[in-house]
Amino acid sequence: MTAVTAGRSTRGIVDLVFRARELSIVLALAVLVAVTAAANGNFLSAQGLKDIFLNAAILALLAVGQSFVVITRNIDLSVGSVVGLVAFTVGDVLAANQGLGVGVAIVLGIVIGCVCGLVNGLLVSFGKVPALVVTLGTLYVIQGLDHAIAHGRQINAVDLPRSVLSLGNGSVLGIPYLPLITVVVMLAVGYYLRSYASGRDFYAIGSSPEAAGLAGVPVRRRVMAAYLLSGALAGLGGVLWLARFGTVVADDAHGWELQVVSAVVVGGVAITGGVGTVYGAALGALLLTTITSALVVLKVNPFWQQAITGALLLLAISVDRVLALRVARILRRRNARHGS
Amino acid sequence: MTGAAEATAPHGPGTGDAPPVLALAGVSKSFGAVRALRDVSLELHAGEAHALAGENGAGKSTLVKTLSGVHRPDSGQVLMDGRPVEFHKPADAQRHGVAVIYQEPTMFPDLSVAENIFIGRQPRASLGRIDRGAMRARAAELFARLGVALDPEQPARGLSIADQQLVEIAKALSRDARVLIMDEPTAALSVNEVARLFTVVKALREQGCAVLFISHRLDEIFELCQRVTTLRDGAWIAGEAVAGLTHEALIRRMVGRDLDTLYPKLDAATGEVALKVHRLTREGVFTDVSFEVRRGEIVALAGLVGAGRSEVARAVFGVDRWDAGWVEVNGRRLPPASPTAAMSAGVALVPEDRRQQGLVMDQSIERNIGLTGLKRLRRGPVISRAAERDRARDWAIRLQLKFNRLSDAVNVLSGGNQQKVVLAKWLSTRPQVLIIDEPTRGIDVGTKAEVHRVLSELASDGMAVLMISSELPEVLGMADRVLVMQEGRLVAEIPRAEATEESVMTAAAGRTS
């Protein structure tokens, strides 16, 4: 019977830890906003808040896709390049064909993103090449492709159709489109991962790839799907980027992959897979964006901003590690008691 | 148990006339030159627990893997309900109602117990969503049927091995398994956990499940099973009722073979104490272990898998920390948890699993041998390739290693030759105390004899050898003294003259009578 009571208390701890993760992000956000608002009242103005949500929307969207991949114990470093490629090529097409609308732009962006995701997914799941290597490679390939297409040119907002630009700046009932799209995608993906058998497979794969294979989970197909989704959302993110900024060069979103991975990890998705939610990842993105904005408002030297973001990432990973060791120790102590 | 056997027979659909649920008929299986199974037959009936007995390497695991669809027989048939079936992969066997419980189940540590049971087959609500309530309820129902108190909602991480096995059994039940194969499930369990497992398995047996049970502990076979099939060196030896069989008779069936020719241990003059271990304890792993090994002596550490033998070796060498006690080499205490200190004191450890712990598989023979003595191979700040090659060549000749070039990767060598490379790697450090874990596991008979010859020569030259082995003939043939461990404690010390299959087995299985 000791096993059962010990089991319950273990469960209580583990549950608390992972609930606490999302709660602690919300808490950190609240403290951050309160402190910054106290120092500078403008931070909480309608415009200030809107800016934060607009800035966080694309990062959060990418974080949702990334967490899908990370949950399966893989990683997608190519998302930043995909955003850049999609933003430029879709912008190029729209500038040449003024008649095209928002719908075409979104479909085109998602298709390009899916192709990139397909390449990643094929190499990782069927080629059995480590994800880090594959997506580092595609990061450079896609970036190079983008530069070759752009050839030093720039897409200007004035060349784009009105409808596309209003996607970036318009709103419905006072809520801007961009965060709205992100929230809808996040809820849909989160619901799928939690409530569908195939969604749970992703967690099973990340938790133990060998056990997943033995249990008949189609491991390769699911990993493939994770990369496709990550690619598709990066494609959508590229279109939103174009809509928001209007003026686009080939270098856009350069280096964003690391911000995305940071957001995912800060949001409580274990980099070793099997644990975490897309809600946490999106919250992580919101926290990172808010920190950046707050540091600007507080007039902190921009060089320190990066260092602080990095320190936060290290803190998040350390917390994960400490908790994992805790759980392992509880386990060992319980087994020792059993053995005696 | 005889009474129980008779009482349960009517529950099954007539053990006499109905065809067995699952059977092997004349099955043979070879891996290269090794014949793992030769013309083996076995019948599992509903409502009956059937034991599979045999030494390590007798072919028990191959038989289990043939029944569970991992291996396909070279000849002979697998039969279900009297009809031939072919299992191409484990999923085929699962679909036919064959479930395997391994010694250490593979689980999803991050998912809940209920999800571990139902992954991929979760109960569905409308629109294909998972019905969590139903999943929880069905898991609870399964646990109630098994009579165990596990919480379906708790994460699998943190479950003891015993609980993990129960989850696996629940999973088997949820698939309506008709055959339950248990491959040494009790090796890592405590006495109370074994009792709980047996209650569950007996209940399943009475509900009409066919059980195949593997264990080295003879008491367990006699307690749980009605029939027993014995394998030796891949061949079928006997299939009989457990009632009327004695422990001694069963042991004779398992081992009976000529030992003298294979294991020559030369007599060597024993010198002073080289290794002294005093009341060594690692909490929850082994307790109060004391022994000595003298120069020129080979001491065997025998016992069942999971008795804590390898763990003691790892602690002595400093890989794992110990909680109490001490270790002396040539009269000098070793600091705890420092392999470097152990090595410079003259201790070498040849680990059990050469692929994982002993060798860098895709590096060359010379690199692997040189790895333990990089300091000695240095000429100035750089490693001398010539010195490395010379040293490797010396040992290759001494151990009669068969190879093409010393620059070949070790993964192209046979298991026996790989083992020689591991030996060379450690012997080249000129140790005074050699700890060797399962020296001949998975290598062929000829090479085995050579490894034994080398060990015997080393002892004659004055080395102190501590050998861990699960192969009784090897223990009896090689050892001057046999130490027997059981559940983390040293329970017997048997001198060479008194060491027999029976005396060692009896001590290892912990029989009091």
Architecture of domain B259-346+432-513: 3-Layer(aba) Sandwich (3.40)
Domain locations along chain B:
2-107+176-255, 109-158, 259-346+432-513, 359-430
How far is Cα of residue A39 from the mean position of the Cα atoms in its chain?
30
Of B154 and B300, more confident:
B300
A277 domain residue, yes or no: yes
A165/B79 Cα distance (integer angstroms): 69
pLDDT at position B291 is: 94
**Both structure tokens of B96:** 């036919």
**Both structure tokens of B290:** 């004391």
A168 domain residue, yes or no: yes
B51/B229 Cα distance (integer angstroms): 6
Q: How many other CB atoms are found less than 10 A from the CB of residue A5?
A: 10
pLDDT digits (tens, 9 = 90+) for B331-341: 999 998 898 89
Residues of B in contact with A10 (CB under 8 A): 154-155, 157-158
Of A70 and B458, more confident:
A70
Helix or strand or coil: residue B68?
coil
CA distance readout (Å), A94 to A84, A151, A154, B82: 15, 17, 13, 70
- Residue A324: closest CA among chain B residues belongs to which residue? B157
CB-count exposure of residue B390 (10 Å: 0-12, 13-18, 19+): middle
In this predicted structure, the answer to whether residue B102 has a pLDDT above a threshold of 90 is no
Average pLDDT over residues B190-210: 86
pLDDT at position B333 is: 92
Give the residue from A319, A251, A246, A242 showing the smallest Cα distance to A284: A319
pLDDT at position B385 is: 79
B68/B194 Cα distance (integer angstroms): 24
Which of B65, B104, B108, B311 to probe by mutation at the A interface, max A CB count within 10 Å?
B108
Give the residue from B57, B96, B507 showing the smallest Cα distance to B254: B57
Instruction: Tell whether ipTM is more than 0.90.
Output: no
Residues of A in contact with B108 (CB under 8 A): 203-204, 207-208, 211-212, 274
Phi first, then psi, for residue B200 (nearest 5°) are -65, -45
In this predicted structure, the answer to whether residue B45 has a pLDDT above a threshold of 90 is yes
pLDDT at position A233 is: 96
Of B112 and B371, more confident:
B112
Q: Tell me the torsion sign for CA atoms B60, B66, B72, B77.
A: positive
CA distance readout (Å), A259 to A222, A273, A289, A298, A301: 25, 18, 10, 21, 19
Strands B298-303 and B324-329, bridge-based pairing: unpaired
Best-predicted range by mean pLDDT among A216-230, B298-312, B499-513? A216-230
List the Cα angle B202/B206/B209 in 5-degree steps: 90
At CB < 8 Å, which residues of chain A contact B?
Answer: 1, 3-4, 7-8, 10-11, 14, 195-197, 200-201, 203-204, 206-208, 210-212, 214-217, 274-275, 327, 330-332, 334-340
Q: Which of B106, B150, B284 sits opposite A335 (nearest CB)?
A: B284
Give the residue from B206, B243, B244, B198 showing the smallest Cα distance to B224: B198
CA distance A211 to chain B (A): 5
Q: Check A7 against B124: CB less than 8 A apart.
A: no
B242/B267 Cα distance (integer angstroms): 41
Q: Tell me the torsion sign for CA atoms B7, B13, B16, B20.
A: negative
Longest CA pairwise span in chain B (Å): 81
Q: Which of A217, A330, A336 sits opposite B119 (nearest CB)?
A: A217
Residues of B in contact with A339 (CB under 8 A): 190, 284-285, 487-488
Give the residue from A67, A31, A82 showing the smallest Cα distance to A266: A67
Q: Check B151 against A11: CB less than 8 A apart.
A: yes
Phi first, then psi, for residue B378 (nearest 5°) are -80, 135
CA distance readout (Å), B14 to A54, B18, B48, B79, B187: 74, 6, 11, 18, 33
pLDDT digits (tens, 9 = 90+) for B460-493: 889 999 999 877 878 888 899 999 998 889 999 9
pLDDT at position A338 is: 45
Which of A15, A70, A214, A327 to probe by mutation at the B interface, max B CB count within 10 Å?
A214
Average pLDDT over residues B94-104: 84
Residues of B in contact with A329 (CB under 8 A): none
B185/B199 Cα distance (integer angstroms): 14
B407/B400 Cα distance (integer angstroms): 17
Q: Give the pLDDT band (50/70/90) at residue B442.
A: low
Helix H or strand E segment including B455: helix B445-460
Average pLDDT over residues B56-80: 86
Q: Are B200 and B146 in contact (CB under 8 A)?
A: yes
Contacts of B246 (CB under 8 A, 6+ apart): none
Rounded CA Rg of chain B: 25
Residues in chain A, overall count = 340
Residue A173 sits in which domain range?
Answer: 15-335
B2-107+176-255: CATH topology is: Rossmann fold (3.40.50)
Residues of B in contact with A3 (CB under 8 A): 160, 162-163
CA distance B36 to chain A (A): 24
DSSP B178: S
Q: How many other CB atoms are found less than 10 A from the CB of residue A262?
A: 22
Those residues of chain A that have pLDDT short of 70 are: 1-21, 320, 324, 327-340
CATH number of the domain that A149 lies in? 1.10.3470
A199 domain residue, yes or no: yes
Helix or strand or coil: residue B307?
coil
Question: How many domains would you assign to chain A?
Answer: 1
Q: Which of B90, B154, B488 sits opposite A10 (nearest CB)?
A: B154
Of A81 and B192, more confident:
A81
Give the residue from A77, A89, A197 showing the smallest Cα distance to A137: A77
- Residue B120: closest CA among chain A residues belongs to which residue? A197
Q: Are B198 and B229 in contact (CB under 8 A)?
A: no
Q: Are B439 and B429 in contact (CB under 8 A)?
A: no
Q: Provide the H-helix boundaries in chain A.
A: 2-39, 46-71, 79-96, 102-121, 131-150, 162-169, 177-195, 197-207, 209-214, 219-245, 256-266, 278-297, 302-339
Residues of A in contact with B107 (CB under 8 A): 208, 211
Residues of B in contact with A201 (CB under 8 A): 119-120
pLDDT at position B116 is: 92
Q: Check A7 against B90: CB less than 8 A apart.
A: no
Phi first, then psi, for residue A191 (nearest 5°) are -65, -40
Average pLDDT over residues B149-156: 86
A65 domain residue, yes or no: yes
Q: Give the pLDDT band (50/70/90) at residue B262.
A: low
Q: Give the pLDDT band (50/70/90) at residue B245.
A: confident
Contacts of B224 (CB under 8 A, 6+ apart): B1, B49, B51, B198, B201, B202, B211, B213
The string of DSSP codes covering A230-244 is: HHHHHHHHHHHHHHH
- Residue B287: closest CA among chain A residues belongs to which residue? A340
CA distance B349 to chain A (A): 25
Render the burial of B185-211: b for 16+ CB within 10 Å, e for the rest: bbbbbbeebbebbbebbbebbeebbbb
Q: Check B149 against A4: CB less than 8 A apart.
A: yes
Q: Check B111 against A215: CB less than 8 A apart.
A: no
Give the residue from A49, A88, A89, A83 showing the smallest Cα distance to A65: A83
